[in-house]
Amino acid sequence: MALVASLLLTGLVRKWAIKIGFTDKPGTAKIHKKPIAYGGGIGLYIIGVLPLLVAGVVSVMWGKGGPTWLGETVNSHLPGLANRTREIFLLFGCATALFVMGLIDDVKRLGAMPKLAVQVGVAIALVCFGGMKFDFFITVPGIAEVLSILWIIVIMNAFNFLDNMDGLSAGIAAISGCIILGAAWAAGQVFISIFLALLVGALIGFLFYNFNPASIFMGDAGSLLVGLFMSIATIRTTYYQGQGAWFVTLMPLIALAVPLYDFIVVVILRLMQGKSPFVGDTQHFSHRLVKRGMTQKQSVLTIWLATACTGLGATVLHMVNTTGMILIFIQTIMILLIIAILERPVDTTKEK
């Protein structure tokens, strides 16, 4: 349902954006040669965020004695939903604020600091007032909150940074979303599973328009929203269920190893060059692959495959012993080392 809705909504938004001139024009940090419609994040917002509002309203209605027409299967989950009413409305409000800020930035650049301030505010609100934090094996007061706030901010920016080539950010989010969805479903987390299913379906539908050659971009309104959803989904998913070893809690770190690698490397490069880490350029892994002779499609598919490879290791983390865990971590590092080798510039001045 989310996929079909995304196909329809994205097509309508694309026509509307072109009509009013809401487009991303070519520039020094851009690789497209002609204006491309913005607004892909609008469909992602409608499909991913508005159901939160519906869920919140239903939970309030249940608390007042209704609704009774949803059926026995759905009604059995309403008490759990009602316990999350404040969390649902808070996530809806924070996602909406982030989306609006992103739309404004897509129309008129706000600058790095205002955007970062909104991101920090959203992360603090969700962690400190919504209780959306890591809590496994962390007993020192305040550590879980700080780690959770940093995680949300980093993942939001990681997917925002990945939105530098047609289909890259949406594809990686869909792949990693499927991996986390598997963990949530295995843990019996119905609401998180539905949330991720909506997100993955919306992303796949959007990719029909966003894969190279893209006819619409998600913009900051979409990429930051996707990053927020992924960060919250990884925090709220239960990985450790009293069985197995503690290292299963590191599953999101492995599943998101590739986007985290790209984010860290780009930030380090920009800081070493005396640039702001939030000013766009063409130093991402995807750009370096193109400079080595790949097409944009080949570059994006290569990074998708690398993400899937680390993700597959993450999916079996709960099935292995300590030796298996070490092998999965070594495999993940080796994949990242392959990426590091591939993205090193080629010295064409040397003779063969």
Per mean pLDDT, which range of 76-85, 138-147, 159-168 is the poorest? 76-85
Q: What is the pLDDT of residues 318-346, one digit of tens each?
A: 777 888 888 999 999 999 998 888 877 65
State yes or no: pLDDT of 352 exceeds 60.
no
Kindly tell me if the per-residue pLDDT of 16 is higher than 80.
yes
Residue 309 banded pLDDT, cuts 50, 70, 90: very high
High-pLDDT (> 90) share of the chain, %: 36
C-alpha 134, offset from chain centre:
17
According to the model, what pLDDT value does residue 280 have?
73
Site of tokens 């790209």 = 262
Residue 216: strand pairing partners: 37
Task: Note whether residue 52 is domain-resident.
Answer: yes
In a domain, 216, yes or no: yes
* Chain segment 158-208, per-residue pLDDT in tens: 999 998 888 999 999 999 999 999 888 888 888 889 899 999 999 999 999
Mean pLDDT of the chain, nearest integer: 84
The whole domain housing 110 covers: 2-241
ω into residue 26 within 30 of 0, thus cis? Answer: no
Q: Which of 83-97, 158-172, 193-207, 302-316 bottoms out in mean pLDDT, i.e. has the lowest? A: 83-97
Residues 326 and 143: their CA atoms lie apart, in Å, by 26
- Structural domain contains residue 38: yes
| Domain assignment present for 223 | yes
* Residue 264 counted as domain residue: no
Q: What is the pLDDT of residue 3?
A: 93
Its pTM stands at: 0.87
In a domain, 251, yes or no: no
Burial, 269: exposed, middle or buried (Cβ in 10 Å; 0-12, 13-18, 19+)? middle
Residue 352 tokens read as 């063969």
User: What is the distance between the alpha carbons of residues 291 and 180, in angstroms, rounded to a whole number?
Assistant: 32
The answer to whether residue 95 is domain-embedded is yes
Rounded to whole angstroms, the Cα distance separating 39 from 12 reads 10
- pLDDT number for residue 348: 45
Tokens, residue 327? 């092998």
Please report whether residue 162 resides in a domain: yes
When divided into structural domains, the chain yields a total of 1
Residue 249 in tokens: 């809690």
DSSP H or E segment with residue 43: helix 40-48
Return the SS3 of 24: strand
**Radius of gyration from C-alpha coordinates of the chain:** 20
